[in-house]
Amino acid sequence: MKTEDFITTLVKEGARKPFPKPSKVTLGWLLTITAYFWLVVAFYGTRPDMSVKLTQPVYLTEILVMTITAIMAAWAASWLALPDADQKSWLRFLPFIPLAFLMGMLVYGMFTNSTLTLSECLKLGRYDCIMRIVLYSLLPCGFMFYSIQKAAPVRCCWAGTMAGLSIASFGYILLRIIGRSDDPTQLLVWNFLPVFLMMAIGMVIGQSYLGRIWQS
Amino acid sequence: MDYNDDRENKFVRLMHRAQSGDHASYTELLRSITPLIRGFIYNRIGNGADNDDILQEVLLGVHRASHTYNTDRPFTNWMFAIADHKVKDYLRAYYRKKALKEVDFEKIKDFIAAPVTSEASPGEGLSELLDKLPKKQRKIVHMMKIEGYSAQKVAKTMDMSLSNVKVTAHRAYKVLIANGRKKEEM
């Protein structure tokens, strides 16, 4: 087909109405995830010692850092849903700053404040924590991936990774609000590392699902 | 304000109108960006036989992603990001195909030496060529050329856009012709 005829065919279909700006998309995601978050908390209830935990600066810092990670990752994912995301390519590295900070906190706690050794912690086999993070994430994850796929991401793996990180960070916060374990080694192995697992899952889904708009 | 600023403003204005449903602006926009994309493709891969196909792929990409352009960002950056993605896609497919061609002759000598006892009929030859097409392309060619459906009907049946059906059919014909020629030469 000649290019001129091809243009005529495209024009008949017309240009599509603009997609919301990344800031609006992020806000929409965050509101939806927060609503879902409160529903889960209302369903399972908070940990029994919640009032005590809310007075502990380390606990509050941990929650705050993970919230920042979740927001930054959602913001990066909303930009990565656009083809010209390279204009703000630095955004995708931002969430790793609070994430590294939290990892540092947990590793420091593991060496100074933990009652469990690494091998003891591994023997605990708290696979339920991984399952809970994945299960808490399923619904918001589906929603987020669906809306990214509605846009036109070029860096599909990165978009998927950021979506996975954002959701997993919320999952981590939920676990900390609902679950009772506070040992830094246990938190690192059974709560924090699954966040990386979710990122990897997000990357794989991103690669296979998010680039569909470009396929002929 | 220099030429590039003027051009950028013009594209932003046209895209804004096109997104509001103005078909004339959309035509003007697509026609205006065509030489830029052609130049971009030429710079990246030289003067190849597939340049027009890639150009149409980029235009289709721009069309499909038209909803992701917001007028507060530079239009040309957005457009070239799509063009870059499409050219990379093409290059990936090209090198994959090239890698397939570089077959170790020793490994397939038994296959080549296998006896051919019967000559296939032209019908068999055609179905053999059709079988080599990807599923979607095969279905479109079958519906349009064997069952006699119009492109519009095929688009409706397969839940695809008309332009997409036409492009896919065009690609399929090219592959069929190329494979047919190869078969004749053998």
Kindly list the residues from chain A whose CB atom is less than 8 angstroms away from the CB atom of residue B162.
Answer: 9, 12-13
In this structure, which amino acid lies at residue B54? I
Asked whether residue A209 is assigned to any structural domain, the reply reads yes
Question: Is B147 within the bounds of a domain?
Answer: yes
Q: Does residue B108 sit within a domain?
A: no
Q: Residue A4 falls within a domain, yes or no?
A: no
- The domain tally of chain A equals 1
Question: How confident is the model at residue A69, as a pLDDT?
Answer: 96
H helices of B46-157, in order, are 51-64, 75-101, 109-113, 122-131, 135-141, 151-157
Chain A residues inside the 8 Å CB shell of B168: 216
Look at residue B120 and tell me whether its pLDDT is greater than 60: no
Which domain CATH number covers B181?
1.10.10.10
pLDDT surpassing 60 at residue B110:
yes
Mean pLDDT across B33-50: 88
Reduced to 3 states (helix: H, G, I; strand: E, B; else coil), residue A151 is coil
Distance CA B17, CA B19 (A): 5
Residue B130: the pLDDT is 81
Q: Which amino acid is at B110?
A: D
Domain of B63 in residue numbering reads as: 3-98
B103 inside domain? no
**Count of the separate structural domains present in chain B:** 2
Residue B40 lies in a domain: yes
CATH number at residue B19: 1.10.1740.10
Contacts of B76 (CB under 8 A, 6+ apart): B7, B8, B11, B36
> Is B87 part of any domain?
yes
CB contact under 8 A, A14 and B23: yes
**Per-residue model confidence as pLDDT tens digits over B43-68:** 988 877 788 889 999 999 999 999 99
Residue A81 contacts residue A153 (beta carbons within 8 Å): yes
Residue A200: per-residue pLDDT: 94
Cβ neighbours of A16 in B, within 8 Å: 19, 64, 66-67
In a domain, B104, yes or no: no
ipTM of the predicted structure? Answer: 0.80
The verdict on B33 and B89 lying in the same domain is yes
Percent of chain B scored above 70 by pLDDT?
Answer: 82
Inter-residue contact B99 to A186 (CB < 8 Å): no
Assess if residue A14 is contained within a domain: no
* Residue B41 included in any domain: yes
Query: How buried is residue A116: exposed, middle or buried, by Cβ count under 10 Å (0-12/13-18/19+)?
Result: middle
Which pLDDT value is given to residue B65? 92
Nearest residue of B to residue A152 by CA position? B65
The verdict on A123 touching B (C-beta cutoff 8 Å) is no
pLDDT bin (cut points 50, 70, 90) of residue B159 is confident
* Lowest mean pLDDT across A47-51, B57-61, B77-81, B163-167: B163-167
**Across the A/B interface, how many CB contacts are shorter than 8 Å?**
113
Instruction: Tell me whether residue A104 is in a domain.
Output: yes
Regions of chain A with pLDDT less than 70: 216
Tell which A residues from 135 to 154 touch B, by Cβ distance under 8 Å: 151-152, 154
Residues B73 and B136 placed together within one structural domain of the fold: no
Quick check: A13 and B81 CB within 8 A?
no
Q: Evaluate if pTM is beyond 0.80.
A: no
Sign of the torsion angle spanned by Cα atoms A71, A76, A79, A81? negative
Q: CA of B116 to nearest chain A CA: how many angstroms apart?
A: 37
Residues B156, B94 share a domain: no
Mean model confidence pLDDT for chain B: 82
- Give residue A26's identity as a one-letter amino acid code: T
Residue A10 forms part of a structural domain = no
The residue of A3, A13, A24, A84 whose CB has the most chain B CBs within 10 angstroms, and thus the best one to mutate to test that interface, is A84
Write out chain A residues lying below 8 Å of B71, CB-based: 18
Residue A2 lies in a domain: no
* In-domain check, residue A113: yes
Residue B159 resides in a domain: yes
Q: Residue B107 has what pLDDT?
A: 64
